Chain A
Amino acid sequence: MAGTLAEKVWNDHLVRRGTDGEPDLLYIDLHLLHEVTSPQAFEGLRLAGRQVRRTDLTMATEDHNTPTLDIDLPIADLTSRTQIQTLRNNAKEFGVRIHSLGDADQGIVHQVGPQLGLTQPGMTVVCGDSHTSTHGAFGGLAFGIGTSEVEHVLATQTLPLQPFKTMAINVVGELHPGTTSKDIILAIIAKIGTGGGQGYVLEYRGEAIRKLSMEARMTICNMSIEAGARAGMIAPDQTTFDYIQGRPHAPEGADWDAAVEYWKTLKSDDDAVFDVEIELNASDLEPFITWGTNPGQGLPLSATVPVPEEIADEGERIAAERAIEYMGLTPGAPLRDIKVDTVFMGSCTNGRIEDLRSIAKVIKGKHKADDVRVLVVPASARVRLQAEAEGLDRIFQDFGAEWRNAGCSMCLGMNPDQLAPGERSASTSNRNFEGRQGKGGRTHLVSPLVAAATAIRGTLSSISDLVADGDEEFRDIDMATLDGTPLAPLDPNVLVQV
């Protein structure tokens, strides 16, 4: 029978089919842990006298609370320190692999899995974090879970789940230079709304998606949750295989051949039926930004701040009024005139090596706008090392940016990297909720290229603004390689076993 990619992966993990309204029981291939949502799950195991069933399918890292400065000193915030110490203790007690602060493989959990080659096509991946959808870029079923479910997976390596509906998102056409996969996903969310994906697994398809690098695909799947979807996925292809091959946990020898043979079967059949299909033309896209306080409140950068009176739907009008007030904007004013205080470059959405390279290419030899704080936080310590090996850290520092250690950082402000009340940011992260980056902080979600141009000009800007400014140096940049082109991945040269 014809099936979608999501259905195939689901069926391949079916331990037991539920009957009479009982959920299906699915096997989980990889369980990732971090310090915030795991302590009570381990406590639950302890109270019930249970063990971690498969420590060899489980891995922990520290990301949400970790500072990005002075990481060799004791963590100043006592609550953060306690959460991190608790994770370390639990990992030790239960025999779970952990990459702690100061370790080269510490970093945001959704970067660490892929960079180690642990995230592979056709897998089920879970983590107590909604952005687990990132891993779906490899063609697996990956989704965030609650603390009880974390405990359930630790104890049984399975999860009882009700089947999802499927939605195909066909992205046709070709991205213009200066637009990125971030613009694709922001446009999709603006189109279907923050609840548009509720109950669905999204599958991103079409020529524009096929041309994207692995990291650009991760950006798209990462934000599936912002459309309310349970998960997002992209069928694996040669780009996927090339990214995985040679990484520490990639299959080798005969296993590699068997894996690739299996991975090639992982695509929706031509006659598979999706519950919903929508289409987007990448050629129509220009850089996209959010103006409001949810990721669905986005517009092309050339647009103006919405005028609430012109919004027909009452609910949307009230939401827009409230958002405009919170964000301190003027209805009808050009988005390009909005001045920012801080530019945050990082997160599990856009803190990868390709993101840093594309930003560095734009800002090289320039200096940031006065009065703008620029924070660069690599997604993982390994990404930071790679960037330093390529000399990107110098480019950022010469630009006037702060070059930080890895973690979630200002994306959610659980560590000291926060916005002050009223402070406005252009951020390459994924959520612009009220107070997300700090109490009273105002967030505009942007692509790495918009972040770079904004840091140079001080107002929300795109690459085309730099060109219009007549920047001679900038004319030398090969626009085609700015994004969407597969660049060399992290150097997986030497393996060590510990």
Chain B
Amino acid sequence: MEKFTTHTGVGVPLRRSNVDTDQIIPAVYLKRVTRTGFEDALFAAWRGDESFVLNQPAYTRGSVLVAGPDFGTGSSREHAVWALKDYGFKAVLSPRFADIFRGNSGKQGLLAAQVAQEDIELLWKILETKPGTEVTVDLENRVATADDVVVPFQVDDYTRWRLMEGLDDIGLTLQHESEITEFEASRPSHKPRTLPAKHLPSVTIEAARPVS
């Protein structure tokens, strides 16, 4: 995971609350087998609408999403975070995030920054008055800046530390690899292993056929 200290990019005002995971990415896209390439699925139901914010040239290349409260409610699908990241978003600012979405974001290196509702309104005003305005998200000092407006945001210490160190959960766990190896050495020999494979003799399985 890339280290996240500061990011500057075009801010996208998404004037909606309760943006649930089905709106972020509809279920039909979950059948894919890849982890990347979900950018076309992001907000799929809204993308057909010409007036939708991401369809306006000034915002198309946005990377800081400024949304209303209760962002990411609904299912646990990690595809919601993948879709935002694949589109190019590095940070989402909202007054309130759904727990699972916030957890998934932290795992994937997307900053979910909690900003007070009145500060979100301030940012919306700037981004709508001057489309294409860049927002700087400073994780070290936990502030977001657009023009001359500086607003504070919250993110828990543990997540902030992980993002700044560029540690995904796996990277973090692998810092303790010697402890894992040590634990493995102490596992009793009676614990089963899948390899080498043992099983009953192979038998041909007859295919069932449709009943006429």
Chain A positions within 8 Å of B, measured between CB atoms, are 15-16, 21-22, 25, 27, 29-30, 39-40, 43-44, 47-48, 50, 55-59, 68-73, 79, 82-83, 86, 97, 102-106, 116-118, 120, 123, 146-148, 151-152, 155-158, 160, 248-251, 255-256, 258-259, 262, 381-382, 384-385, 402-405, 490-498
Contacts and interface: CB of A to CB of B under 8 A. Distances in A.
A146 B78 contact: yes
25 contacts: A25-B179, A25-B180, A27-B180, A43-B33, A43-B34, A56-B195, A57-B193, A71-B207, A79-B31, A103-B205, A104-B199, A104-B200, A104-B201, A123-B191, A248-B199, A262-B190, A384-B205, A402-B211, A403-B208, A491-B200, A494-B200, A495-B198, A496-B199, A496-B202, A497-B197
B141 interface: no
Contact of B207 (A43, A152, A405, A496): A405
Contact of A70 (B200, B203, B209): B209
Contacts of B199: 104-105, 116, 248, 495-496, 498
Q: Is the interface of B mostly helix, strand, loop or mixed?
A: loop
Contacts of B201: 104, 494, 496
Interface string B16-48: 000000000000000101111000000000000
Contacts of B5: none
B149 interface: no
Interface stretch (B84-92, B115-123, B168-176): B168-176
B192 A117 contact: yes
Given A16-B176, A27-B187, A156-B173, 17 more contacts: A16-B179, A25-B179, A27-B183, A39-B34, A86-B33, A97-B195, A104-B202, A116-B198, A146-B78, A148-B78, A155-B173, A248-B198, A258-B189, A405-B205, A496-B201, A497-B196, A498-B197
B173 A152 contact: yes
B191 A25 contact: no
A21 to B, nearest CB: 6
Nearest to B31: A79
B147 to A, nearest CB: 36
B192 A251 contact: yes
A71 B205 contact: yes
A19 to B, nearest CB: 11
A258 B31 CA distance: 45
Given A39-B34, A40-B33, A405-B205, A15 B179 contact: yes
A70 B183 CA distance: 46
Contacts, number: 168
B175 to A, nearest CB: 10
Ranked nearest first, the 10 interchain pairs of A and B with the lowest CB-CB distance are A39-B33, A259-B190, A248-B198, A43-B35, A255-B190, A56-B195, A40-B35, A251-B190, A56-B193, A59-B194
A123 B193 CA distance: 12
A25 B176 contact: yes
A118 B35 CA distance: 30
A391 to B, nearest CB: 15
Contacts of B210: 69-70
Contact of B198 (A40, A104, A496): A496
Nearest to A155: B170
B57 interface: no
Contacts of B202: 103-104, 496
B170 A15 contact: no
Contact of A498 (B34, B187, B196): B196
A104 B205 contact: yes
B194 A385 contact: no
A255 B190 CA distance: 5
B208 A69 contact: yes
Given A69-B210, A385-B205, A495-B198, A118 B170 contact: no
Contacts of A21: 158
A251 B198 CA distance: 12
Contacts of B170: 48, 50, 151-152, 155-156
Contacts of B176: 15-16, 25
B76 interface: yes
Interface in B31-87: 31, 33-36, 76, 78, 82
B108 interface: yes
B31 A83 contact: yes
Nearest to A78: B31
A56 B194 contact: yes
Interface core residue of B177, B191, B199, B208 (most chain A CB under 10 Å): B199
B160 interface: no
B104 interface: yes
Nearest to B182: A15
Interface string B101-115: 000100110000000
Interface in B144-180: 158, 169-170, 172-174, 176-177, 179-180
Nearest to A491: B200
Nearest to A404: B208
A382 B194 contact: no
B6 to A, nearest CB: 24
Nearest to B196: A497
A147 B80 CA distance: 13
A441 B82 CA distance: 32
Contact of B169 (A123, A152, A249, A382): A152
Nearest to A397: B211
Contacts of A50: 170
Contacts of B203: 104, 385
Contacts of A249: 192-194, 198
A493 B203 CA distance: 14
Nearest to A105: B199
Contact of B200 (A58, A155, A156, A493): A493
B200 A382 contact: yes
Contacts of B31: 79, 83
Nearest to A384: B205
A394 B192 CA distance: 36
Contacts of A43: 33-36
Contact of A69 (B158, B184, B209): B209
Contacts of A497: 196-198
A292 to B, nearest CB: 21
A148 B173 contact: no
Contacts of A384: 205
A100 to B, nearest CB: 11
A65 B189 CA distance: 36
Nearest to A54: B184
A433 B184 CA distance: 41
A258 B188 contact: yes
